[in-house]
Each structure stands twice: as structure tokens, then as C-alpha cells.
Amino acid sequence: MRKLLITIDGPAGAGKTTVSKALADRLEYNYIDTGALYRGVAFEARARGIALDDDAGLEGMCQSLGLRFIRDAAGVRLYSGIVDISGHIRSPEMSMMASAVSARPAVRRALLDVQRRLGAEKAAVFEGRDMGTVVFPEADLKFFLTADLSVRALRRHRELEEKQSPQKLLDVKKDMERRDQNDSSRKEAPLRPADDAIMVDSTSLSVDQIVERMLDCVKKKIAGADN
């Protein structure tokens, strides 16, 4: 069966991570969380005392940064060198810092090469915000997953409660709205659907329903390519 390169973009809280993992599992593809790479850069910048608008400092750091994904029994983990930083990059603070560093050209250039190397052999699902527009404009299938802001905020609020990092729902919604604005208005690779992206509104759909819809698209794509 032909192997595809699939991208899933969209705003925070739309369900990208859950859906991307589920789709990759069903297809037996690699799952790449590109947002985690930017969170990793933000984590290391804070640890090293580098300001998020210090382009020279960020560029120098990225050139020597050893971010990599390793799959184990717990799933896919992000390492910086030999240190597993997966448990340190999912806080609201890291979300906002990741949004800030993702707007810096030096950071985007550094991670662009990393992401393209990971996708060279296809058979992968890439989750992010500019996968279908900038990183892989030639991707075989592009999805843009979105949902109503209130629904997205509620989902993220529940995630934070489960991780014992509770926040007020109103604060979560405000942070998400601010991040949406930052991501969609930045000059470098703004958040937007690719012209040929398949739009999926997850507001009233279950994960299984979304994945089944995407699998139908995958099957049609493969069938069309084989004819």
C-alpha cells in the first residue's frame, strides 16, 4: 500500500494531538508532534536564560540543540540531549512561550530542517500549525482541524485538571484567545488552512468520528493514486 505524508493543522484545543495519534495508530504510521519541538525550544531558552526575542541567542542555541523523539512503553517522548523533558513542556506558561518562539525566524529555520528530515520517508502524521502551508506544502493529505473557542477552552481546562494543574475556565479561554491571535497574526508562518486542506470541525464530533472521516479520505487518496 502506498505510504502517505499527512498533515493535521489547527488551533490549540481543537483535538489535534488526540486525533493525530489515533490516526497514526490506525495507519501504523509515525506520529510527529511538531508543537512539542517549539515547546522544547521554549523550555531550553528559559532554562538557559535566553530571552524569547533574542534572535541571535535563540539561533545559537538551536544550532546545538539535540531535540529528538523516542518511543517507549509510555508513548512518544521528547528528549533534549539525554534528558526526557516531556513532563515539563505542557504547562500554560510553556504554551505561551512556545507561541512566542515559533514566531522567531531563526527558530523556524532551525526546526524546518528537522521536520523535513523526519518526513522524508513518509508514512507519517505531522501535527502542528503550519505543516500543510510551510513545512510540507507537497503533503499527500492536509487536514485543518478546528472547533468553537468555548469548546476548545473547556477541553483544555479538563486536560489541566487531569494533570493536576488547574486553571479557571475563563483564564484558559482568555489565554487560548490570545494565543489564537498571536498565531494567526504573526508574520512568520501564520496559522491558516492550506488552500487544499480538508476542513474538519470537531465541535460536535467524537474522536472516532473524526478519525473515521480522515481514514475515508486516506482510502480515497490511495485508491485514486493507484488508478
- Give the DSSP per-residue string, 62-104: HHH--EEEEEETTEEEEEETTEE-GGGS-SHHHHHHHHHHTT-
pLDDT for the residue numbered 72? 77
Q: What global pTM score does this model have?
A: 0.81
For the stretch 193-203, pLDDT in tens is 999 999 999 99
Boundaries of every domain in the chain: 5-212
User: Residue 48 corresponds to which cell in the numbers above?
Assistant: 538557559
Of residues 3, 7, 4, 5, the one with CA closest to residue 127: 7
Helix-strand-coil percent breakdown of the chain, rounded to 5? 55, 15, 30
pLDDT tens-digit series, residues 96-116: 899 899 889 889 888 898 899
CATH topology of domain 5-212: Rossmann fold (3.40.50)
**118, three cell numbers:** 523526519
What is the reported pLDDT for 73? 77
